[in-house]
Structure 1
């Protein structure tokens, strides 16, 4: 295999991996790793002539192509920040392959392939947990565009999908190698049988789960409003905010009636931050207008997002994200509010913040970063946040409030469900991604959360896709891109806990444990 052929495998591998993020079916990933596995096997076969690092460069190229093609739309917010994240993530992905390849060289092929699987899943898990999260390229997540084959995610979560994809690629590669090497027929038949069982059994189980799943009839009636405000040309003066209030109420009034239990508006519906001091909400002019609107209806409550702030009078209350201006110390928040006709307000502060846009990574541990922050396309400095999830408790439902990026984190949303949430409201502003794959990919995560938790979802986007999602992950009454809209529908509540809700990302945690054992085994063998 000459250099041209190796580069061709790298490029084709990166392109294949990116296809599901570009709108192709998720099952393309069942074969997407084959070019990289051929590359890895070549460098293993000719290990005397190539050092382990030779594989690293080829996989880095493939991973960079994958990152760019799958996530290019994020650069609309910050070219420098997102571009740097793509390069760094490609480096981590290639490092994982280099480590597994090195283990295969030092120990054995089976241990090398086991290492590859657990290392990839462990890296995915890290991307959900550390301070510069980049979880949008998780393998198991993209299968949401074919929800009929992933109903078993209620047991495994998305990491079950990642494991499935990796195993299918490995067994398919082994089958192709057996055919190529003209192995005995028995060995080829065995490989074929294992591959077919691995492909057909989970798919069949999922189709049966999908067709037989029945929601308990426990409906609540919801109105979802999509205001369609352009975040790139938005104004934040009083006149502009008042116009947004009028437009929101106009749209809501078109479909709200006495049977409506909730009206749901998008993330940061109101952004004139000086108006949303959390200590003075009882005299907030906008809330007074909203309260007057709700008086027309029987028992309707309202949830929407605002940019709020909280002033700290006591030094012991000040957080590491707090900022100072004219002698006033305060935190800014991306906030979800639940509001009723009696004027009672419940607040949730977004906890999973976007690195470089809503938070300074590692600022909690390295305070000097606060004063040496490079603006990567968002506000300078970190927003405040909650330390853990909390629900909004209404008369008709216990709501898991999920703000934008938080919908990506399955294990995080399960905390809301374990705390009693029987329905999920996702509020987002997908206008930042313009008319790209961004808002379509973002919708997939809400579908995943519905399957994993078996909770119905009401999703309000400023623009993009506002919709209802049932407990099987089906999207209902989806709105169009860049159009004002208000839709009315009902979803069923659910109080049952799935296996995944109770046990979380156990596949990822197990992979981390095995990864540590593999690394320790290498050290033991080296120094024994």
Structure 2
């Protein structure tokens, strides 16, 4: 195969992988890896002629195009940060694909493809749990706007989608191998499996979608989208008070005596000095919001703020800052104003690496004050160790999810295991301008609704604020870059899905299988001089 054809196949695969993140149908993923798998097969068949690194180069082209086209919008906040994120993630992805190719060169035919699926799924799982989390391009996320065909995510989560994509792409390769070799049985068998593996899950999903009925116990909710431009935002006292007044004015346009909840976005106010968690009721801004709430006898309020906690020197946390003779933490916080007059707090737990935390702080503490300005509250933030719920006046249990946390399905299940009946997501997507970024972020919330069968109210500073029902349907949403408030109803639910109960079991199974296969590869390496 000529080099130009190999490069074209790499480019084509990268383009196809990108399309679902740009709003095109997720089923494109069923053959998006096929061009790359052709290259993998070519280099395996000619391994005496080409070293394994030849395939790695093509894998890097694929992943670089995929990452670049789908996440270029990070450059709006920081061009250097975008280059780093795209380059590093592309490099790591290509290494995983190369490792899978390495297995294909040295293991029996079937084991090679099991290793391919295992290594990739293990990588995706790892990307949810290490200190530089970036699961944005998990293959199962590619169906976020095709919820009618993935209702079975309530059993598998997004890793079911990833496995679906990998299996079908492998079978597509086998189908064309049969055609090339003119062996009828090698054509019919994969063709039948492809049709079955597509038709059966889709049929089951459509049946689940059409038969799913929510229990009718509606809550009246108002979402507020202030539409503050984060690039021209002022953090003076006057500006902060003006933002709060804008929020109250928009909320008042839709709230009434029947409103149960008013939900505002992440970090409506960002001067953390005004929101000391040990004396938050002394904050003038807190008193203004309580005064607004008192106009609505049944309404409870949730907003996002930057808050702080001051420590004695011996009590300072690992993330504490030191300034003006004080040790203190800054948090990205959700505040819940109860009708009783009390309040509850939740500090964001999953922080964005390089923006809200230093990855591997234990080893790179000297970078504690070096951050990429990617939006929201920045700097090395404090966090809480595990999810906690908000409890409404009528005992409704609420999951307060802040921004990036909504990408982590297994993390959201922890709220639900504790009894969450509704999910409130608060975010600020204005940093990504009018790009695919804010649309992708909103679409991922639809996956969380299916996985947990919880209705979702999502309030964004700008981007898309809206209501999502338990089937993942978008019931109502705002437009991009306009101040707005919208009112709607969502039903609560207290049933536990299989996915909530067992989490990412698919990934854990493949992680175990991958360890065994990797050990077998190491053993093979001890027996061969030219294993690569």
| TM-score grouping bracket, smaller chain normalisation | over 0.9
CA distance in 1, matches of 2:371, 2:248: 39
Are residue 174 (structure 1) and residue 174 (structure 2) matched?
A: yes
How much does 1:296 deviate? 1.6
Deviations 1:435-468 (A, max 9, x none): 1111100011110100000000000000111100
Matches within 5 A, 1:338-377: 338-370=336-368, 373=370, 375=372
SS in 2 for 1:278: coil
Alpha-carbon contact 1:292-1:341 (below 8 Å) kept: no
Are residue 503 (structure 1) and residue 528 (structure 2) matched?
A: no
Aligned residue for 1:335?
Answer: 333
SS in 1 for 2:426: strand
Deviations 1:165-202 (A, max 9, x none): 1101010111011112211x233111211111111000
Aligned residue for 2:530?
Answer: none
How much does 1:370 deviate? 2.3
Matches within 5 A, 1:363-442: 363-370=361-368, 373=370, 375=372, 381-396=379-394, 397-442=396-441
How much does 1:59 deviate? 0.6
CA distance in 1, matches of 2:340, 2:207: 46
SS in 2 for 1:279: coil
Structure 1 gaps of 5+ residues are none
CA distance in 2, matches of 1:229, 1:157: 34
How much does 1:131 deviate? 0.8
Matches within 5 A, 1:220-299: 220-299=219-298
Equivalences, count: 525
In the superposition, relative to structure 1, how do residues 412 and 252 fare at CA in structure 2: closer, same or farther (>3 Å)?
A: same
CA distance in 2, matches of 1:52, 1:438: 35
SS in 2 for 1:455: coil
SS in 2 for 1:348: strand
In the superposition, relative to structure 1, how do residues 364 and 270 fare at CA in structure 2: closer, same or farther (>3 Å)?
A: same
SS in 2 for 1:421: coil
CA distance in 1, matches of 2:214, 2:470: 7
CA distance in 1, matches of 2:208, 2:105: 42
Runs of 4+ in 1 over 6 A off after TM superposition: none
SS in 1 for 2:279: helix
Aligned residue for 2:39?
Answer: 39
CA distance in 1, matches of 2:94, 2:313: 48
Are residue 512 (structure 1) and residue 522 (structure 2) matched?
A: no
CA distance in 1, matches of 2:362, 2:222: 39
Alpha-carbon contact 1:291-1:340 (below 8 Å) kept: no
TM-score, normalisation: structure 2: 0.96
CA distance in 2, matches of 1:226, 1:239: 20
Are residue 17 (structure 1) and residue 43 (structure 2) matched?
A: no
TM-score, normalisation: structure 1: 0.97
CA distance in 1, matches of 2:347, 2:411: 14
SS in 1 for 2:360: coil
CA distance in 2, matches of 1:474, 1:55: 41
Deviations 1:239-260 (A, max 9, x none): 1111111111111111111111
CA distance in 2, matches of 1:386, 1:102: 41
Give the root-mean-square deviation of aligned CA atoms.
1.3
CA distance in 2, matches of 1:407, 1:312: 30
In the superposition, relative to structure 1, how do residues 487 and 8 fare at CA in structure 2: closer, same or farther (>3 Å)?
A: same
Deviations 1:458-492 (A, max 9, x none): 00000111100000000111100011111111111
How much does 1:526 deviate? 3.8
Are residue 164 (structure 1) and residue 186 (structure 2) matched?
A: no
CA distance in 1, matches of 2:134, 2:507: 16
How much does 1:82 deviate? 2.5
Please identify, of 231-240 and 291-300, the stretch whose mean Cα deviation from structure 2 is larger: 291-300
How much does 1:343 deviate? 3.0
Alpha-carbon contact 1:291-1:341 (below 8 Å) kept: no
Alpha-carbon contact 2:358-2:364 (below 8 Å) kept: no
SS in 1 for 2:222: strand
How much does 1:112 deviate? 1.1
CA distance in 1, matches of 2:222, 2:294: 16
CA distance in 2, matches of 1:229, 1:296: 25
